[in-house]
Amino acid sequence: MRNHHSFLPVRPRRVAALLLSILLVLSLLLSAVFILVEQHHDCEGEHCKICAAVGQTVVFLKAEGDAVLKPSLAALAICASSRRVPNHPDVYTVVYSPVSLKVKLSD
């Protein structure tokens, strides 16, 4: 079933969402790697370009961590906890019958 309000069919939208998610994760990981690699660089002093870039990267990671990672981790935790519902024999299961489905059984 397609949503009539969207401009893209379902498959390309999922692919686009997946690609954007991968790009976001890569940007966060590569930013962290940049900070780790440049942690012990030869600093030029007060006007060091590498120190300025590391500072901007730290600000980026803090902003993205607050805006993206925390809600994503909360959503994953909710999904993981909802799938752990135990299957008890006491749980009421819905049994569909022709009467409940209002099926007319005429020959």
The per-residue pLDDT for range 75-107, each reduced to its tens digit, is: 888 877 766 555 555 556 677 777 777 776 666
Residues 64/56, Cβ–Cβ less than 8 Å: no
**Pairwise CA distance, residues 67 & 61, whole Å:** 10
Please list, in sequence order, all residues whose beta carbon lies within 8 angstroms of the beta carbon of residue 57, skipping any fewer than 6 positions away. Answer: 31, 34, 35
Residue 105 within a domain? no
User: What residues make up the domain containing 77?
Assistant: 10-82
Residue 97 within a domain? no
Residue 15 within a domain? yes
Per the structure, the count of domains in the chain is 1
Residue 96 within a domain? no
Residue 98 within a domain? no
- Per residue in 35-59, pLDDT (tens digit) is 888 888 888 888 888 889 999 989 9
Residue 62 within a domain? yes
Taking 3-state DSSP, the helix, strand and coil percentages for the chain, each rounded to the nearest 5, stand at: 60, 0, 40
